[in-house]
């Protein structure tokens, strides 16, 4: 009823607006008017404009009423939807209860609650086992990484010690200079000739050569032959 009344009101408003516009156009198409006639025409147009404004105000009010009606309809639809959900829930529970009543192995709601608790406890145990397994794997991975780091550190220390030993032997095996060798010999009280003899390699049969004995050169000056004078 409200929607039909609103439609009738809108149609009548539009027809009245069209009639006013038509009358204004007809008056403007007539012959030129005097100043008094022009004032009268302007007054009539002013009245018609006021009427048009009133009509537009009525249309706006009708639109507000329509908006309120639409909001009411929307609320009714939401309420119907909520009631429908409640009805569907009731029907599903009724069907579930009916199925339970026809089951031969059903032992009542207390037994169902016990089974539900057992299922929940089983799920909790499985979740706890998964958590412990994840922690165990994480701990194993940390231990593996720690052992790997320790092995790398031990290898590095071993290589460093070996490098120091090798470099230390090289430094100690370097031959001393002649001054240091002579000073060490003098300090120890060893004859240089005897040391050179002790360091001489043993001669073999193949390395022995016949030695020619030469007379030692005398330092005494010899006299010249008088006959050669």
pLDDT tens for residues 64-119?
999 999 999 999 999 999 999 999 999 998 988 888 778 777 776 777 788 888 99
Note the pTM of the prediction, 2 decimals.
0.31
113: Cα within 13 Å, side-chain hemisphere:
3
Q: In the chain, how many domains are there?
A: 1
Angle at 31 between CA 20 and CA 19, to 5 degrees: 10
- Residue 91's domain spans which residues? 2-102
Q: Within a domain: residue 45?
A: yes
- Whether 181 maps to a domain, the answer reads no
What angle, rounded to 10 degrees, do the helices at 35-102 and 2-28 form?
160
Q: Is residue 182 part of a domain?
A: no
Is 192 a domain residue? no
User: How does pLDDT run across 11-65, given as a tens digit for each residue?
Assistant: 776 676 666 666 655 555 555 667 787 788 788 888 888 888 888 888 888 889 9
Distances (CA, A) of 163 to 52, 112, 125, 151, 172: 109, 76, 57, 18, 14
Asked, for residue 202, whether it belongs to a domain, the answer is no
b/e map 143-182, b = 16+ CB within 10 Å = eeeeeeeeeeeeeeeeeeeeeeeeeeeeeeeeeeeeeeee
Residue 30 lies in a domain: yes
Domain presence at residue 72: yes
Q: Is residue 200 assigned to a domain?
A: no
């Amino acid at each position: 009823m409200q929607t039909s009344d609103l439609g009738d009101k809108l149609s009548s408003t539009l027809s009245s607006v069209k009639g006013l516009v038509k009358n204004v156009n007809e008056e403007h198409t007539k012959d030129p008017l005097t100043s008094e006639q022009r004032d009268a025409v302007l007054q009539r147009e002013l009245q018609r404009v006021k009427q048009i404004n009133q009509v537009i105000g009525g249309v706006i009010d009708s639109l507000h009423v329509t908006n309120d009606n639409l909001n009411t309809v929307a609320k009714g639809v939401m309420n119907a939807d909520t009631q429908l959900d409640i009805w569907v829930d009731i029907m599903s529970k009724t069907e579930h209860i009916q199925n339970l009543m026809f089951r031969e192995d059903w032992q009542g709601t207390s037994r169902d609650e016990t089974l539900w608790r057992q299922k929940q406890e089983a799920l909790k145990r499985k979740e706890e086992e998964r958590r412990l397994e994840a922690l165990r794997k994480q701990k194993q991975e940390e231990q593996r990484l720690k052992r790997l780091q320790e092995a790398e550190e031990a290898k590095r220390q071993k290589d460093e010690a070996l490098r120091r030993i090798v470099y230390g032997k090289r430094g100690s095996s370097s031959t001393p200079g002649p001054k240091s060798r002579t000073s060490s010999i003098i300090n120890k009280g060893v004859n240089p000739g005897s040391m050179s003899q002790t360091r001489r390699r043993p001669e073999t049969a193949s390395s022995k050569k016949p030695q020619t004995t030469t007379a030692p050169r005398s330092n005494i000056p010899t006299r010249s032959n008088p006959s050669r004078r």
